[in-house]
Structure formats: C-alpha cells, structure tokens
Amino acid sequence: MQAILAVLVVVLLVLARGGAAADEFMFTKFARENVTTTGTAVVTSSGLLQLTNETNERFGHGFYPLPVRFKNTSTGAPLSFSTTFVVAIVPRYTDAHGHGMAFALAPSVAIPGAVAGKNLGLFNTSDNEGQARSEIVAVELDTALDEEFEDIDDNHVGVDVNSLRSVNSTTARFVDVRTYKFANLSLVSGNLLQVWIQYDGASTRLEVMVSPAGVPRPAGALVSCTVNLSSVVADDTYVGFSGANGAAVSSHYVLGWSFRLGGGRAPDLDLSKLPPLPSSKSKKTPLPMLLLATALLLAVVVLILVSAAVTVFVVRRRRFAEEEEDWEIEYGPHRISYKDLHAATRGFRDVVGAGGFGRVYHGVLPRSGAEVAVKKISHDSRQGLREFVSEIASMSRLRHRNLVQLLGYCRRQGELVLVYDYMVNGSLDKHLFTAGQPALSWEQRAKIVRGVAAGLLYLHEGWEQVVVHRDIKAGNVLLDAEMNGKLSDFGLALLYDHGSNPQTTRIVGTIGYLAPEMSKTGRATTNTDVFAFGAFLLEVACGRRPTENSDNADSPGLVDLVLECWKGGRIKDAMDPRIDKFDEDDLELVLKLGLLCSHPDPRRRPSMRQVVQMLEGAAPVPETMPEDLGSSGRIFGYNESFDEFVTMFPTTSEITTVTTQPSSSNSDEQ
C-alpha cells in the first residue's frame, strides 16, 4: 500500500513538472540557447542579453524558453517566486534616451500586437483602455515620463498588471548605507543596477528592491503591491525581459539573472562573473560628443597659445618693468624707458666705470645718437632710493656748462638708472693719480679748477635755491673731450632756500674734504663746500690726495705739507712734480687760495663768488701769512671728536656717511 502510494506520488510529481521549467535557474553569462529572443534582442558573443540596439521605435524580448506555472495545480493558489537580475540602460545621449525596460510575466514569448516606445514592447494600444486581459505582470524600469499612463517622473520603478498604468510606482532611489539616507538612483546612467523581486504566494505581496550593483540587497522594498498571480497570469507563463525605444534610443542590457520558483530566495548573483558591458562608446561617438571633444581640444589649444603669449608678454614686461611714484611725475619728461636704455647700452655691456653705488655703462641713444653714460644704482630699500631722489630732482633742472647734464632716468624694482652726457675723458682723479697716465699740464689744470669753481658758484648762487653739493673732489669731476671740468655726482646734494639756514643733517662726504665745523654744527653749508673746494684745489695742484694715509692720523695732511712749504718760503715745492711748464703766479694763486678755502674757521673762508673773482684775477688774494691759517696743523687733520662721528672709508670710496641724528634723517633729506 505504501509502495503504491510512493509510486503515485512520484508519478504525480513527474506529471506536475511535465514540460515546465526547473524550479530554479541562474545565468551569469547568457548562451544563445538559454533565452528565446525576439525583435531587436540578441545574445552577444560576450554573453550579454542585449534587448535593444539603438534602433528607433523598436523593442526586443528575451524570455526563458520554457513556461513557468505560477499557481498550485491542485489548489489554484499562487506560488511564491524570487528573482534577481543585473541590468544596464545605456542612453545614446544622456538628455534623450529610450523608454525603458521591464521584467515580465507573459503568456507567450511573442506578445500579439505589442508596441514599442511607451508601451515597452509588452502591451498593445488597446490594453490601456481598462478591461484588457493581456495576462501580463511586469516590473518596469521606466525612463520616460508618459502622462497618459500617469507616470510620476522619467526615472521610476513600477508594477504593471495588464496595463501600463502602474499599480504602484516610486522614483528610483536607494538607501546609501554610509549615510542611511535615500540617494537618487539614475536608471539611465549606463551603470549596472541590481533588481530584486520577491513574491509571496500566501500574501500575494510583490516587492521590488533596486540598488546600484555591488550595494547589498535593500532590506525594505522600493515598490510593493498585492497581486493575485493566480487570477492574472496564464497557466503557462513565460518569464523574461523587454526593452523598448521610441524616437530617442538607449541600449538595454541584462547581464545576469537568477530565478527561483517556490519559497526562498533566488540564488545570489556573483557579480564578478558577469560579462562586461561593451566598452562605453567604443561604438560611434555621438555627434554632440564629437563636437564637444573638438571644441574642448580647440579650447585647450587656444588656451595653450594664449598662455604662451601671456608668458612671453609677462617675461618681457618683467624684464623691462619699471616703477613710478607720485613724486616722480614732476620729473616725468626726464624719464627714459628701460627698454630704450637696454637697447642704448646694448644690454648693459660696455662698462666704463664702477664704484660702491653700482656700475656705469656707455650707451648711444637710438633717436638722437647722443653718447651717454648710464649709471645703474642698486637700492635695496626706499632709503637707498631716497639717496638719489635729490640727484634727480636737482640735476634734471640744473643747467651749467660745468655741470654734467642729467639727461634722464629710469626706475625699476631695486634699481635706479641715471643717464648723463657721456664724458669722454672720464674722471679727473684717474688723470691725477693713475700711474702711466700722461700728466695733465698746468694749463689744463688751471682750466679745470676754474670750470669747477664756476659750476660750484652756479650751484651756490646762480639757481633758485642754494645747492650744496657736499661731495666736491677730483673723483667727482669729469672731463669732456676738450678737457673741461664738469662737476658730477649730485647724489648727496642738499637744497635750501636762499637766505635760510640749512637744517642739521647726516654728515656725508669724503674724508679729507669734510670741514671740521661739521662735527659740531651738523650742518652742510656753502662754506663746507668751499672747504672741500680748497682741498680740491690743493689736490689738483699738488697731484696728491688730501690725506695719503687715512689710517695714520699722525701723517701730515696735504694742507700741512703746503703750509710747511709756504713757511719755508718755497710754496711752489708743493706742486705736482709731473708738471714741467707752469705759470708761477697762477700756481701760487691756486695754492694760496686752496689754503684759504681750507681755513679751519668757516668765517675766514672766501665765498665761491670771491673764489671765482680771485681765480679770474678780478680780485686780489687777501694778504695772508701762513701763521694766520692756523697755528697748529692738527686743526687741518681730524680732531678726536670728529673721528667719533666719521666712519672711516678709504678716500677712494664714493661716499662717507655718518649719522648724527638718525631719527631726523628722513625729514632732513632735501
């Protein structure tokens, strides 16, 4: 009896399963025999089920070839099922794409009258009129908004029963496990999506879960509804997929699929085993993309060209960059562009002189063809720059044939460039003190000292303001082609109004030319210039510097030597031995005038006007005895108090700077 029963059960079971499908199947790679395809659908060589192929208004189906029975044959109760699949919807253009795809239960693999586009290839046009009984249940991934079917948006998941008017639908989204918040999910991103569908026969509840592939199955359903499959689908129902395009197109792919009928879940898909999508857009690049790429390429090329041009421009600009401040505007006409100077000096090549301040270059101005000396002064600070402001200010406005004419200037970062008339014969001290140079004749010397005296007189009396040069010496006298002496280097010049007193200021100048009273008064006056001019006269006549050895305070200065000669009645012995022919009276005049100008008492010194008159023979040299000019030679050297202020520099150095009142030094400039 038991054996008969057992046989009966086996027979019944075999009958029940008949030509029907297995309870469970899984594809991680499709073979052509595994699905029945219609329309545009194909199984690709890589194992993808490709439903559509970017042909307009077409659809494609891929169904499991054997029918599935979703109801219990004896009770008629619906059977549970579970399925999961991975799909990708790749739009041709992100802003214009096909209608979407669906997982479907359908009575046949070729649905009669099915239409593409919004009907998703599953329904015919009369299905949507109300009473249709197409026996179709579908889960749609709808990427188009069809108001006719009351679609909520163009990116939703819905359940369709016999009609495209979804029973229920929700915008595609998923819970991001990192934030525990809903995140939007684009169905047409071209990215892989995984869908889970769970149907419980007892409760007739259908639940749909969606997430990006790789994200675990969501716990809660995105869309759910109740549907009694027993009363909807046919006894022999086919399961599979449909994809449809309209005027715009996408490619709809199914990469893997697992299905289980009865209780429990469909087997998990091993995502790593899925076939790859065709490498995105290895196909034809759509025209807009091509245009975009071309435009982008052009833009990049243009950008590169422009930035190259800008770089060249900036480099050139920086190379020739200049600075300008308000105070310079009044000297505007004297400004010469750095570019012109660069050209004039052929890139600052011919160095004709150098000193503590910087270098002097020879140049030829392009327009006038005038020979110029270009002096480049580095200044690290504003203070350093201010040193030369007065030079620009005064020299650009002073005009005298015994002053070196400043033609213009240029200022840039850390650099001041001054342009002068070029003096062919260089500085006087070179001729006086450089061994090997042909000695200057007395005639030449006499002409030079008279020229310098005239220039200095102009500075003191001939201009609208009193200009104290503050650094008269052979080194600052330049010689033109005719050996005319011209006073140069107004870097230390001090200006004040006629009739007023100059303010106290820093003591500047060169050792040997500094008047002794400066250490007490702190003032540079025309008298202190006269003192320096006296030293200059003796220097030119004797061919010796005022102090031969500045390190040795005991060594007699030039004044003492000349005084000694005079006391001995042989003042002419002080003369430069290199002079062979000379006018005795003139030599004596120059030497005595030199001593007179070097008088330690400023009130006893002549003015430059008197000096010029005496040199021209228009006025006699006052009868003086050497004893009048100071009982002690020490007066002419440096006394101790003076040494305290003076920072010792070699006599050849450009400037000796001593600060007596640092706090007031700024306001005292000019």
The set of catalytic residues is: 471
Looking at 25-33, 502-510, 628-636, 638-646, which segment touches ligand NAG (CB under 6 A)? 25-33
Residue nearer to ligand NAG on the CB measure, 261 or 417: 261
Helices (H), ranges, 458-575: 518-521, 526-542, 558-567
HSE of 166, CA atoms in CB hemisphere, 13 A: 26
Q: Copy the structure tokens of residue 563.
A: 């005084």
Q: How far is Cα 62 from Cα 244, in angstroms, rounded to an integer?
A: 12
CB of 138 to ligand NAG, least distance (A): 13
Q: Does residue 34 interact with ligand NAG by CB under 6 A?
A: yes
The site map against ligand NAG for 331-370 (x = CB under 6 A) is: ----------------------------------------
Q: How far is Cα 392 from Cα 406, in angstroms, rounded to an integer?
A: 8
Residue nearer to ligand NAG on the CB measure, 283 or 317: 283
Q: Copy the structure tokens of residue 224.
A: 């759910």
Looking at 70-78, 287-295, 352-360, 461-469, which segment touches ligand NAG (CB under 6 A)? 70-78
CB of 64 to ligand NAG, least distance (A): 8
CB of 197 to ligand NAG, least distance (A): 18
CB of 22 to ligand NAG, least distance (A): 8
Q: How far is Cα 148 from Cα 643, in angstroms, rounded to an integer?
A: 108
DSSP for 113-129, please give it: T--SGGGTTT--GGGGG
Q: Does residue 175 interact with ligand NAG by CB under 6 A?
A: no
Q: Does residue 25 interact with ligand NAG by CB under 6 A?
A: yes
Tell how strand 168-171 and strand 156-161 pair up: antiparallel
Q: How far is Cα 470 from Cα 510, in angstroms, rounded to an integer?
A: 9
Q: Does residue 311 interact with ligand NAG by CB under 6 A?
A: no
CB of 255 to ligand NAG, least distance (A): 15
Residue type, 96: A
Q: Copy the structure tokens of residue 625.
A: 């005895």
How far is residue 194 from each of residues 24, 97, 209, 258, measured CA to CA in Å? 19, 20, 8, 11
Q: Is 344 exposed, middle or buried (0-12, 13-18, 19+ CB in 10 A)?
A: buried
Q: How far is Cα 387 from Cα 188, in angstroms, rounded to an integer?
A: 75
Residue nearer to ligand NAG on the CB measure, 133 or 273: 133
Residue nearer to ligand NAG on the CB measure, 268 or 627: 268
Of all residues in the shown chain, the one whose CB is closest to ligand NAG is: 113
**Which among 606, 449, 567 has a CA at the least distance from the CA of 559?**
567
CB of 208 to ligand NAG, least distance (A): 19
Q: Does residue 33 interact with ligand NAG by CB under 6 A?
A: yes
Q: Copy the structure tokens of residue 43.
A: 């199984």
Q: Does residue 186 interact with ligand NAG by CB under 6 A?
A: no
* Selected binder of ligand NAG within 2, 19, 74, 76 (CB under 6 A): 76
CB contact at 8 A, 116 and 55:
no
What DSSP element (H or E) covers 168? strand 168-171
Question: Helices 584-597 and 442-457, interaxial angle, to 10°?
Answer: 40
Q: How far is Cα 138 from Cα 105, in angstroms, rounded to an integer?
A: 6
Rounded (5°) CA angle 645-649-653: 130
Looking at 9-17, 30-38, 192-200, 622-630, which segment touches ligand NAG (CB under 6 A)? 30-38
What DSSP element (H or E) covers 657? strand 656-658
Looking at 32-40, 86-94, 97-105, 526-534, which segment touches ligand NAG (CB under 6 A)? 32-40
3-class DSSP assignment, residue 112: coil
Q: Is 179 exposed, middle or buried (0-12, 13-18, 19+ CB in 10 A)?
A: exposed
Residue nearer to ligand NAG on the CB measure, 116 or 403: 116
Q: Does residue 108 interact with ligand NAG by CB under 6 A?
A: no
* Selected binder of ligand NAG within 38, 40, 84, 194 (CB under 6 A): 40
Q: How far is Cα 386 from Cα 416, in angstroms, rounded to an integer?
A: 10
Q: Does residue 170 interact with ligand NAG by CB under 6 A?
A: no
How far is residue 319 from each of residues 313, 324, 412, measured CA to CA in Å? 10, 16, 10
* Selected binder of ligand NAG within 73, 231, 383, 437 (CB under 6 A): 231
Size of residue set near ligand NAG by CB under 6 A: 25
* Selected binder of ligand NAG within 72, 73, 94, 184 (CB under 6 A): 184
Q: Copy the structure tokens of residue 554.
A: 């005991």
Rounded (5°) CA angle 554-559-560: 50
Q: Does residue 273 interact with ligand NAG by CB under 6 A?
A: no
Q: How far is Cα 547 from Cα 638, in angstroms, rounded to an integer?
A: 10
Looking at 24-32, 304-312, 471-479, 495-503, which segment touches ligand NAG (CB under 6 A)? 24-32
Residue nearer to ligand NAG on the CB measure, 27 or 388: 27
CB of 174 to ligand NAG, least distance (A): 11
Q: Is 321 exposed, middle or buried (0-12, 13-18, 19+ CB in 10 A)?
A: exposed
CB of 75 to ligand NAG, least distance (A): 7
CB of 30 to ligand NAG, least distance (A): 7
Residue nearer to ligand NAG on the CB measure, 19 or 76: 76
How far is residue 93 from each of residues 89, 173, 189, 287, measured CA to CA in Å? 11, 22, 10, 10
CB of 19 to ligand NAG, least distance (A): 15
The site map against ligand NAG for 113-152 (x = CB under 6 A) is: x----------x-xx----xxx------------------
**Which among 353, 511, 495 has a CA at the least distance from the CA of 424?**
353
Q: Does residue 46 interact with ligand NAG by CB under 6 A?
A: no
CB of 15 to ligand NAG, least distance (A): 21
Looking at 49-57, 98-106, 417-425, 594-602, which segment touches ligand NAG (CB under 6 A)? 49-57
Residue nearer to ligand NAG on the CB measure, 113 or 263: 113
* Selected binder of ligand NAG within 31, 329, 618, 625 (CB under 6 A): 31
Residue type, 627: E
Residue nearer to ligand NAG on the CB measure, 58 or 334: 58
Looking at 225-233, 331-339, 374-382, 413-421, which segment touches ligand NAG (CB under 6 A)? 225-233
Q: Which residues bind ligand NAG (CB under 6 A)?
A: 25, 27, 31, 33-34, 40, 53-55, 76-78, 112-113, 124, 126-127, 132-134, 184, 204, 228, 230-231
